[in-house]
Amino acid sequence: IHDWDGLTDYEIKRSEMLHELGYAVFATDLFGKGVRPTEVVDKKQHTGALYKDREKMRSIMQAGMMKAKELGGNVDNAVAMGYCFGGAAVLELARSGAKVNGFASFHGGLSTPEGQDYKATQGKVLVMHGTADSMITMADFAGLADELEGAGVAHEMVTYGGAPHAFTVFGSDRYDEVADTQSWTLFTGFLEAHTK
């Protein structure tokens, strides 16, 4: 699942990297065809609309899984992953009770909306977070750890010292090569462990 820029070349590159490892990949577009916001105000508007309508967010992700299945993907043997906004969306999918083997969030939003919890979560949760992230704090990270532990959800949560928000985005001023490399290695191991 993409970040707040929409489904761009970044997600396509990551999908290609996974395909090269032998995985079937489907990138779900939560904003809609051709919607690629470039201004912060537009990014906030598109993500904000989905944050306000969690049922719509869930239904789009479920539709993405059904489309992946229609195209020949084995959604009964799947892991969902996302970046930034997409990481928050993946955690929403986890809370929805989706039958997915694992949920991986790279520098994603970690807060749980009021009235929601992880009691229905069926797969393991992997959270990769930058300790220097000024947008999603270590208090948010600790809060999620408490929630997952309290709900009895299998999880692994890792922080990368000095890594800011969006630390995996190639070519950006926030890119942290060490954190990116380590988190990608962790994620690919997670895929091996949670897919058949």
pLDDT score for 196: 85
Tell me whether residue 177 is in a domain: yes
Tell me whether residue 1 is in a domain: no
Could you read off the pLDDT of 148-171 as tens digits, one per residue?
A: 999 999 999 999 999 999 999 999
Tell me whether residue 4 is in a domain: no
pLDDT score for 179: 98
Tell me whether residue 190 is in a domain: yes
CATH number, residue 109: 3.40.50.1820
Backbone dihedral angles phi then psi of residue 12, each to the nearest 5 degrees:
-65, -45
Tell me whether residue 40 is in a domain: yes
Tell me whether residue 2 is in a domain: no
Could you read off the pLDDT of 97-150 as tens digits, one per residue?
A: 999 999 999 999 999 999 999 999 999 999 999 999 999 999 999 999 999 999
- The beta-carbon contacts of 35-41 under 8 Å, at least 24 apart in sequence, are 35/6, 36/5, 36/6, 36/7, 36/8, 37/4, 37/5, 37/6, 38/5
Q: Which of 78, 1, 4 is CA-nearest to residue 46?
A: 4
Number of domains observed in the structure of the chain: 1
Tell me whether residue 130 is in a domain: yes
Query: What is the pTM for the complete model shown?
Result: 0.96
DSSP, collapsed to helix, strand or coil, labels residue 104 as strand
- Could you list the residue range(s) of the whole structural domain that residue 85 is in? 9-194
Mean pLDDT over 59-65 rounds to: 96
Contact 121, 151 (CB under 8 A): yes
Strand pairing class (124-130; 79-83): unpaired
DSSP code, position 60: H
Tell me whether residue 96 is in a domain: yes
* Alpha carbon 146 to chain centroid, angstroms: 19
